[in-house]
């Protein structure tokens, strides 16, 4: 299965992508995670991407397209993948159309104020990319990753101001992609409210259709 997770920042794409990837035995490929590691390592790509990410803007298409298509060519992605955070623009979607046949696009939707609450309460593991929430999905030990024991951090773009800018970026540039995939007959709208497991079941149900 080749699946795309579409939806605004904070909708739960990453959380649900991890569960789906485990269930289907395919890699979870998050362009946000890849970019954050590039920024942390201060690579050329990371240095070019950082200012856009910090401001809640999109990293330029040419950089993201090259990075993502290269990742999709890795051997582990041959059997399928859950793509999270890509595509975000029409040129990105068109580049992907040429590279891979997508089976389904899970389109998560949620009330904007809930998006803000989810993102501003998010804590992430800089080592293994696990995602937590202070209120709704806390780790067993405060500030420590359940999976690898690293100290959790807040993303620098998860302040309320930047979250709102990211939601605007999404509405302007990414939301129109739903129509692109709806026209192909592969879009599956899923309401992202409720418990993580409940949303997971909704996604499985939507994928059976």
Residues in the site for ligand ADP, rule: CB under 6 A? 7, 9-15, 31-32, 35, 52-53, 56-59, 64, 85-86, 88, 92, 118-119, 121-122, 131-133, 136-137, 157, 166, 194-196, 199
Task: For residue 176, give Cα distances in angstroms to 37, 52, 65, 130.
Answer: 28, 21, 18, 29
- The C-alpha atoms of residue 57 and residue 45 are separated, in whole angstroms, by 15
Task: For residue 186, give Cα distances in angstroms to 19, 20, 127.
Answer: 20, 17, 34
Of the pair 26, 92, the CB lying nearest ligand ADP is at 92
Q: Is 179 in the site for Zn ion (CB under 5 A)?
A: no
Residue 145 interacts with which of Zn ion, ligand ADP, none, CB < 5 to 8 Å by class: Zn ion
Catalytic residue among 13, 117, 188, 202: 13
Instruction: Indicate if 13 belongs to the active site.
Output: yes
Strands of the sheet with 81-84, listed across from one edge: 28-30, 81-84, 2-6, 104-109, 187-191
Q: Is 141 in the site for Zn ion (CB under 5 A)?
A: no
Q: What pairing do the DSSP bridges indicate for beta strands 81-84 and 122-124?
A: unpaired
Instruction: Indicate if 2 belongs to the active site.
Output: no
Of the pair 52, 185, the CB lying nearest ligand ADP is at 52
Instruction: Indicate if 122 belongs to the active site.
Output: yes
Of the pair 125, 192, the CB lying nearest Zn ion is at 125
* Min separation Cβ 76 and ligand ADP, Å: 20
- The C-alpha atoms of residue 88 and residue 91 are separated, in whole angstroms, by 9
Instruction: Using DSSP, state whether 187 is helix, strand or coil.
Output: strand
- The C-alpha atoms of residue 162 and residue 200 are separated, in whole angstroms, by 27
Instruction: Indicate if 166 belongs to the active site.
Output: yes
Interface residue with Zn ion among 40, 74, 99, 128 (CB under 5 A) is 128
Interface residue with Zn ion among 23, 42, 147, 161 (CB under 5 A) is 147
Cβ atoms of 35 and 49 closer than 8 Å: yes
The residues annotated as belonging to the active site are: 13, 88, 122, 155, 166
């Amino acid at each position: 299965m080749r699946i795309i997770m579409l939806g605004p920042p904070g909708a739960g794409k990453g959380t649900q992508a991890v569960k789906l990837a485990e269930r289907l035995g395919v890699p979870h490929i998050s362009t946000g995670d890849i970019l954050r590691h590039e920024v942390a390592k201060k690579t050329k790509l990371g240095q070019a991407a950082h200012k856009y990410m910090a401001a809640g803007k999109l990293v330029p298409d040419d950089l993201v397209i090259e990075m993502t298509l290269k990742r999709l060519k890795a051997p582990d992605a041959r059997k399928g993948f859950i793509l999270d955070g890509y595509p975000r623009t029409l040129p990105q979607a068109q580049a992907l159309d040429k590279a891979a046949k997508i089976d389904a696009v899970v389109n998560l939707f949620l009330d904007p104020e809930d998006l803000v609450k989810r993102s501003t309460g998010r804590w992430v593991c800089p080592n293994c990319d696990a995602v937590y929430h202070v209120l709704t999905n806390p780790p067993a030990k405060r500030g420590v990753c359940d999976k690898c024991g690293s100290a959790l951090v807040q993303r620098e773009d998860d302040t309320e101001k930047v979250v709102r800018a990211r939601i605007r970026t999404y509405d302007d540039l990414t939301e129109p992609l739903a129509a692109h995939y709806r026209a192909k007959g592969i879009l599956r709208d899923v309401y992202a409210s409720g418990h993580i497991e409940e949303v997971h079941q909704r996604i499985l149900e939507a994928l059976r259709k």
